Amino acid sequence: WNLICDGAALGATVQSCLFAGMLVSCLFAGYLSDMFGRKKCMFTSVGIMSVASLAASYAPSLVVYASLQFCVGLGMMSFMLSLFTFGVEIVGPSWRTMAGNLNGMYWASGAFLGILLAYYIRDWQTLTRISVAPMFLFLFFVKAYPDSPRYLLVKGRVEDSMNILMKFGGKGVQPKPEVLRALLEDILRAEKKTVKTEKRYTPLDLIRTPKMRKFMFLMGINWFVTATMDFALYLSVTSLFGDIYLNFFLLQFPTLPLMLIAWVAMKRLGRRVTSITARVLAGLVCLLILAVPQGISQVRTKSASLLSIGGYSISYVTWPTCYLMTSELFPTVLRNTSLATGSICARIAALIAPYIAMLGHLPGVGMTVPIAVFGGLAIATAIATLWVPETLFARMHQTVEEAE
């Protein structure tokens, strides 16, 4: 569609349509997941993504393509939120850190495969159709895929919840069905009693009390800066020096080992220390661009490429810290609401990311200015996170009054 020169801004707008769909999805995905279940929401979302992606490869115009990208964003964000909730609900507390990190690891693995496919398949339409195939394949597992036992129990479906726990609950010593049924019924009765007595909470409760307001402000900054650096640096690969496929490979290569290091660090050192350390390192790497001599353009261009890749890779590990810290800082009655609000902050950042990436194509600007800005943002966010309490081994509160 000739999205170069004067059309570059239009290209950034089309990219923003995907993130706009993700932003809109944040507003109702959590509600739909709570209403219809994690499984239904995940498979419906994958169906929307797959159909819209396949249709986009046949789009006759840019307007149609942008509209379909918006639909892809709707399905993608809904799937991601439902998948994260499902992942932490089917494991015990000791495995939740690993469950949260696995999402990032699988994402990085999929990115590796996407780079490999793009290297050998240069036609974007063919590449899109091949990339959609696994999503359609996933839909065939709808009957074999279990729903969340916690969700089923809350909805009063004790028998369904018990059947899943008996089937997938491990190969060791299992409780007798009647014992498990009695336990689940006791939990359900206690839950119903709590629901009847407690007040209804809204997003306004995130800013109504001092601690909640402070935590939401600080975590909102974390979500916003993480998304800004992630999406903008990722989209800026086309502006970097060297082969675009090699740059994408180098961008993703360090993320898997860094995610493993972050997982260990979060369990041993804590969430806050891991987040601050990663942001300071990412910020210092980006700010090194200011030390490169301005008179040597080729050296500056190569340096910008290396520093962009380094800053992106280190900053990537702050995603799981955002999810975990938000989940553990806020009480049960506001936990889903706080995650959805954090995701909205991230999607707002994603909307402006394509325009930041576009700066790399402007003559006389290049990647120097964006990288330096990212470095400053990362350092500032690390300083702000000093006021966030450590949540490792901290007791998770149930109510706002208890958290305050």
The pLDDT tens digits of the residues spanning 88-142 come to 777 766 676 777 677 777 877 888 888 889 889 988 899 999 999 999 998 998 8
Residues 218 and 355 in one domain: yes
Residues 218 and 138 in one domain: no
Confirm whether 211 is domain-assigned: yes
**Residue 15: CB atoms within 10 Å:** 22
| End residue of a domain, out of 106, 130, 145 | 145
Confirm whether 188 is domain-assigned: no
Confirm whether 355 is domain-assigned: yes
Distances (CA, A) of 368 to 225, 309, 316, 359, 365: 18, 13, 20, 9, 7
Q: Looking at residue 328, what is its pLDDT?
A: 80
Confirm whether 13 is domain-assigned: yes
Residues 376 and 242 in one domain: yes
Q: Looking at residue 270, what is its pLDDT?
A: 87
Which regions of the chain are under pLDDT 50? Answer: none
Residues 225 and 355 in one domain: yes
Q: What's this model's pTM, rounded to 2 decimal places?
A: 0.76
Residues 141 and 224 in one domain: no
Residues 234 and 304 in one domain: yes
Q: Looking at residue 47, what is its pLDDT?
A: 93
Confirm whether 260 is domain-assigned: yes
Give me the domain span that covers residue 347.
Answer: 204-403
For the record, the structure tokens of 70 come out as: 């918006």
Residues 248 and 107 in one domain: no
| End residue of a domain, out of 112, 129, 145 | 145
Q: Looking at residue 294, what is its pLDDT?
A: 64
Confirm whether 255 is domain-assigned: yes
Q: Looking at residue 382, what is its pLDDT?
A: 94
Q: Looking at residue 194, what is its pLDDT?
A: 55
Confirm whether 179 is domain-assigned: no
**Would you call 390 helix, strand, or coil by DSSP?**
coil
Q: What are phi and psi for residue 299, nearest 5 degrees?
A: -65, -40
Residues 214 and 350 in one domain: yes
| End residue of a domain, out of 94, 120, 145 | 145
Q: Looking at residue 296, what is its pLDDT?
A: 54
**Would you call 117 helix, strand, or coil by DSSP?**
helix
Residues 236 and 108 in one domain: no
* Number of domains observed in the structure of the chain: 2
Residues 217 and 112 in one domain: no
Q: How many CA atoms lie within 13 A of 189 on its CB side?
A: 6
* Tens of pLDDT, residues 178-197: 766 777 777 667 666 655 55
Residues 114 and 226 in one domain: no
For the record, the structure tokens of 310 come out as: 């380094």
Rg (CA), the chain: 22
CATH of the domain at 261: 1.20.1250.20
Residues 132 and 257 in one domain: no
